[in-house]
Each structure stands twice: as C-alpha cells, then as structure tokens.
Amino acid sequence: MAAAEAANCIMEVSCGQAESSEKPNAEDMTSKDYYFDSYAHFGIHEEMLKDEVRTLTYRNSMFHNRHLFKDKVVLDVGSGTGILCMFAAKAGARKVIGIECSSISDYAVKIVKANKLDHVVTIIKGKVEEVELPVEKVDIIISEWMGYCLFYESMLNTVLYARDKWLAPDGLIFPDRATLYVTAIEDRQYKDYKIHWWENVYGFDMSCIKDVAIKEPLVDVVDPKQLVTNACLIKEVDIYTVKVEDLTFTSPFCLQVKRNDYVHALVAYFNIEFTRCHKRTGFSTTRPGLHHRPGLQGPAVRAVLLHRLPDALRGALLPGPAGPARTQGLRHS
C-alpha cells in the first residue's frame, strides 16, 4: 500500500494494575520469584542505569537546581536501586523517601548505606497505595514513571496517587510534562521477517499466526530514513493537573505524507520535560543520541493500512476496554 493511499485506523489503549503480593527478600529469591517480580532482578536496573541520557538528565535537573532541593523533603515514587534518591540527597535535600514495591529495595537500602547517605535517604518497601510515610507532606516528587509508548506499564497512576496524597500545595514534580507523538514508517523488510515469515516455517504453513503477529505492538529502533509522514501530537500531559480519568482519551490524528512510499507501521514516541528548572531540561526518544539507541523508539504497531485517502493518514487513538495507557494494537476500520 503506497503512502499516498491512506487509512482510517484505531489504536486501542488500556491500563492494568499488578496484583498485590508479598515480596520475598532479595537474597532469598529464586528464578521463579524473578519471573513474577522482574523488577527485583538487578539486570533491568542495570539497563536503566546505563541509559546515560535519561539518568544524567534526572541528575542534572537536580544538581543544576540545588536551590529548589535545598532543605526540602523529597519523595521518589518507584525508587528502584535508589539512584534518584541519592541524586536528591546530593542536591541538598533534607530528607529523601524512596518507595519501591519490588525486592530490589533490599539492595537499595544497602546501596544507600554504602554511600553514607542513610542519614538522609529512607527506603520503604511496599506499594505507594498501601504504605505510610514518616512525614505528612513532601515538597518534591521525583519519579521515572514512563513506560514504553509513554503509558504502557507506566507508573503514572501511582505518581498521581502520591501527588494527591502527599505533595504540598506549592510542591514540585520532576519531571512534570510529557508529550506523545505518532508517525508512520516504511519497513517491508521487517514486515517480511516478522509477519510473512510464518507462511513457510521449515517447509510448513503456519500463516494462521500472522493474524496474531500483525496485531502485536513491538518495541524497536526505527531508522529516521524510514519515516514517510510528519509526526502528530497525540497526547500532552501536565503532571500537576492531569487526573487518572484524563488518561482514558480519544485523539484523532492526521499524518501528512512526505514521499511516495509504502506505510507498514505506526510508531509512537515521547518527550519528557522538567519545566520548573531554571533552564528547561528534558529528553526525547526521537532523535539519535537523545535516548537509548539512535532513531525513534517505541511500540510500533506494524500493520498494512488498507483504505484510500488523498495524501494523508487519518485515525484516532481510542481507549481500550480495560482503561487507559496500554497499547493493544491497530485495527483497520
């Protein structure tokens, strides 16, 4: 399907919360425990910590704005290894509280102590919705809440809960602004590799799986040369004012075709900003060198678009049956 032959489409989104369960101590965990509590394994945190663009952006947002953190009480929602907690402590915070549900919190306690910051930083193991804080209000909330496609498996709902319960009236949130975009790409080679491959698997026809495979959102790197349309803003989120119900949304979009080519997928990417810094700070998943690996990155819904429209792709981002924020797939309409 050439790009000039466009399609109406619907992208479904939904959001789910993990079931509450008792977490074993990190030292006692087995491979079975890690299966059900993947964030307890150091590997996923190693990957996040080695994302220097994202990690250094968080550090700079604090270190370059010490006047905002000096003598403040800071809450880190989903504190992981405690890296953001320690940044906040080094930035001059009087008290830092990290809440972490997974068993990596056991190591976070040791890490904080090893770095002689345990007089400032306190790690609490548990769900934000269930724990009690040693303070009534906090001055600043920090969190690395973003998921794939911004909302998929994100912790935004939890951040909003913490904001409404503990943030002081004039408190700050780091980061506080997020924008989600969609664009379209050509990628026949990848489609052949991931979809048409099922037509002949070692001489057997398994093409019935194609219908499932084509609906599956994928997280991958996209070469900017594959872009065949402009980008369209899908959702803008102000963390100070957004409500949970706002995350169930419909967002019509129209992508203008830039060249005569094929459209094989829609790609979502996002930008994150710390607008209260004296110098605007943030990171993006859009351009090479800005986040993770080069190119656009996000769940790419790779499906052939079928209907004709002149020089444009039109569609709508709609809530799925289970609520906001989980990209389920692309349906032809």
**Catalytic positions, please?**
144, 153
Q: Which residue has the tokens 């509280």?
A: 97
Q: Three-state DSSP class for 32?
A: helix
Give the Cβ contact number of residue 101 at 10 Å: 25
First to last CA, the chain: 16
Q: Are 259 and 228 in contact (CB under 8 A)?
A: yes
In 3D space, the residue among 297, 280, 279, 277 whose CA is nearest the CA of residue 288 turns out to be 297
Q: What is the DSSP string of 227-276?
A: B-B--EEEEEEETTT--GGGGS--EEEEEEB-SS-B--EEEEEEEEEETT
Radius of gyration of the chain (CA): 22
Backbone angles phi, psi at 85, to 5 degrees: -60, -45
Give the Cβ contact number of residue 26 at 10 Å: 21
In 3D space, the residue among 248, 237, 313, 180 whose CA is nearest the CA of residue 13 turns out to be 248
192's CB contacts (< 8 A; 6+ apart) are none
Provide the β-strand partners of residue 229: 257
In 3D space, the residue among 67, 63, 54 whose CA is nearest the CA of residue 86 turns out to be 63
